[in-house]
């Protein structure tokens, strides 16, 4: 059969299902450049508006896996397990998590991405460390996993179709599509070859899934995609109405992750790290290890340091610091109320922590430091937020994004649970 992009765009625009052979052709043709960016942009918007059914999503995922290599680590000598987050604000969990799990005896081949929309990218964070190299050959990756137990790397030859689509979704307002999110996540994760997978599906204002029902539907779809490919997969639904931790931005979040690895750091970041590590170790058959102990005794920090060094990073070099800062102070005393994760994420994006077009450089030091978390007492005039950027003309738009995204209240409310649910 022969296919063409305009016909497929029109079919999806009108609400029809794309045939399996058409999906195979489309992904292969787009990967090699036969289907133009403008045409794929139109199709992505049609999918965003019309959706894809479960069978379409499964075929789309398989076609993206087939666009590149699929790794296999069964001879590594360690059980392999990975984690993926659907994206949040202040979500630096991957950094301490891979180190904790590696310190407990598993290998974590963590294929990661860059920032997408208002959410930060793990690679953007790590590349604020001097010398860090996210580009690893398969041979080098295998050696590092065997010796160190952890690697965080750019997907590269894994699902190259998704790499192109990922960047295009970021600039065409088509990020928040359930089938596109599910297929993007699972194509990379299944191609990277881990024997088990834990998913952190975010729920709330700062997540792509705003409601628990949406998040549960996405989680269920991804768990089913994993099972269909023979990879045991478990999903946790976690709260993303409030930013995770006290920092949002690349180098700021690296510094906070180092605090967690040193046995400190914000309670919510520590709790989610330990919870996800527990799930990963259970799937890897290593549930006799205590992930919290690796943070307390320094072995997780040792694993992280070894991973960064193996990828050329220098943790002794200072992290980037923004040239300019502005501080927002409390107009009155009381209790810090809710802090809207989306408002903070967009503020960091405006300050230069994210990008507005593919390939744009992000500012390593840009972002937001949160001085008072929800429920904490506030005195009039004390700092609440510090905004960081290298380009002071960004402060105006950043203030506009944050305005109305936080409140001081008379008495504290009960915080929502960090873990909302699990599948299966």
> Among 122-126, 154-158, 283-287, 300-304, where is mean pLDDT lowest?
154-158
Cβ atoms of 214 and 421 within 8 Å: the answer is no
Residues of the chain with CATH 3.40.1030.10: 82-310
Q: Rounded mean pLDDT of 285-313?
A: 97
Decide which of 3.40.1030.10, 3.40.50.2300, 1.25.40.10, 3.90.930.60 is the CATH code for 82-310. Answer: 3.40.1030.10
Name the active-site residue from 112, 184, 187, 205.
184
pLDDT given for residue 175 in this prediction: 86
- Is 162 one of the annotated active-site residues of the chain? yes
84 has pLDDT over 90: yes
Task: State the Cα–Cα distance between residues 68 and 409, nearest whole angstrom.
Answer: 52
285 has pLDDT over 70: yes
Higher pLDDT, 229 or 252: 252
116 has pLDDT over 80: no
Q: How confident is the model at residue 115 (pLDDT cuts 50, 70, 90)?
A: confident
Mean pLDDT of the chain: 94
Name the active-site residue from 59, 83, 84, 125.
84
Name the active-site residue from 59, 125, 164, 169.
169
> Among 32-41, 155-164, 308-317, where is mean pLDDT lowest?
155-164
Span 5-51: which CATH code? 1.20.970.10
pLDDT given for residue 16 in this prediction: 98
Name the active-site residue from 82, 91, 162, 340.
162
pLDDT given for residue 117 in this prediction: 66
> Among 91-100, 142-151, 311-320, 406-415, where is mean pLDDT lowest?
406-415
Q: pTM for this one?
A: 0.90
- Is 184 one of the annotated active-site residues of the chain? yes
CB burial string 254-280: b at 16+ within 10 A, e below: bbbbbbbbeeebbebbbebbbbbbbbb
Span 324-409: which CATH code? 3.90.1170.30
Task: State the Cα–Cα distance between residues 352 and 362, nearest whole angstrom.
Answer: 6
13 has pLDDT over 80: yes
307 has pLDDT over 90: yes
pLDDT given for residue 176 in this prediction: 83
> Among 63-67, 94-98, 120-124, where is mean pLDDT lowest?
120-124
pLDDT given for residue 112 in this prediction: 86
Name the active-site residue from 12, 83, 188, 229.
188
118 has pLDDT over 80: no
- Is 169 one of the annotated active-site residues of the chain? yes
Residues of the chain with CATH 1.20.970.10: 5-51
Cβ atoms of 291 and 274 within 8 Å: the answer is yes
Task: State the Cα–Cα distance between residues 82 and 192, nearest whole angstrom.
Answer: 9
Q: What is the pLDDT of residues 147-198, one digit of tens each?
A: 999 999 987 778 999 989 988 998 899 988 999 999 999 999 999 999 999 9
Which residue do the tokens 């920092």 mark? 247
Residues of the chain with CATH 3.90.1170.30: 324-409
Query: How far is residue 370 from each of residues 279, 345, 402, measured CA to CA in Å?
Result: 29, 12, 12
């Amino acid at each position: 059969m022969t296919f063409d992009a305009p016909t497929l765009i029109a079919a999806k625009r009108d609400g029809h299902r794309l045939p399996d052979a058409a999906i195979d052709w489309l992904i292969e043709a787009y990967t090699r450049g036969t289907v133009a960016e403008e045409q794929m942009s139109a199709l992505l918007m049609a999918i965003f508006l019309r959706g894809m059914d479960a069978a379409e999503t499964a075929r789309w995922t398989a076609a993206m896996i087939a666009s590149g290599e699929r790794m296999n680590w069964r001879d590594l000598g360690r059980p392999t397990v990975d984690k993926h987050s659907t994206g949040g604000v202040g979500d630096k969990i991957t950094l301490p998590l891979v180190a904790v799990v590696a310190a407990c005896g598993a290998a974590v081949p963590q294929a990661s991405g860059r920032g997408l929309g208002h959410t930060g990218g793990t690679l953007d964070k790590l590349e604020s460390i001097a010398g860090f190299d996210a580009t690893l050959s398969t041979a080098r990756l295998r050696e590092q996993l065997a010796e160190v137990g952890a690697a965080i790397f750019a997907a590269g030859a894994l699902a190259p179709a998704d790499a192109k689509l990922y960047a295009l979704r970021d600039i065409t307002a088509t990020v928040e599509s359930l089938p596109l999110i599910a297929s993007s996540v699972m194509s990379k994760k299944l191609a990277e070859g881990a024997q088990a997978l834990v998913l952190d599906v975010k729920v709330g204002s700062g997540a792509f899934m705003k409601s628990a029902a949406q998040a549960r539907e996405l989680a269920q779809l991804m768990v089913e995609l994993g099972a269909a490919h023979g990879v045991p997969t478990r999903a946790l639904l976690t709260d993303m109405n409030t930013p995770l931790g006290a920092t949002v931005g690349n180098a700021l979040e690296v510094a906070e992750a180092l605090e967690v690895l040193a046995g400190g750091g914000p309670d919510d970041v520590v709790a989610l790290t330990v919870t996800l590590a527990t799930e990963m170790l259970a799937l890897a058959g290593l549930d006799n290890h205590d992930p919290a102990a690796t943070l307390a005794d320094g072995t997780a920090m040792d694993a992280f340091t070894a991973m960064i060094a193996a990828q050329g990073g220098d943790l002794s070099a200072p992290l980037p610091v923004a040239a300019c800062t502005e501080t927002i102070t409390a107009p009155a005393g009381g209790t810090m109320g809710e802090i809207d994760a989306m408002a903070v994420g967009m503020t960091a994006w405006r300050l230069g922590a994210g990008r507005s077009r593919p390939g744009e450089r992000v500012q390593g030091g840009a972002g937001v430091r949160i001085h008072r978390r929800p429920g904490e007492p506030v005195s009039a005039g004390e700092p609440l937020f510090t905004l960081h950027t290298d380009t002071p003309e960004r402060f105006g738009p950043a203030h506009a994004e944050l305005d109305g995204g936080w409140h001081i209240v008379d008495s504290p409310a009960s915080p929502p649970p960090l873990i909302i649910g699990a599948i299966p």
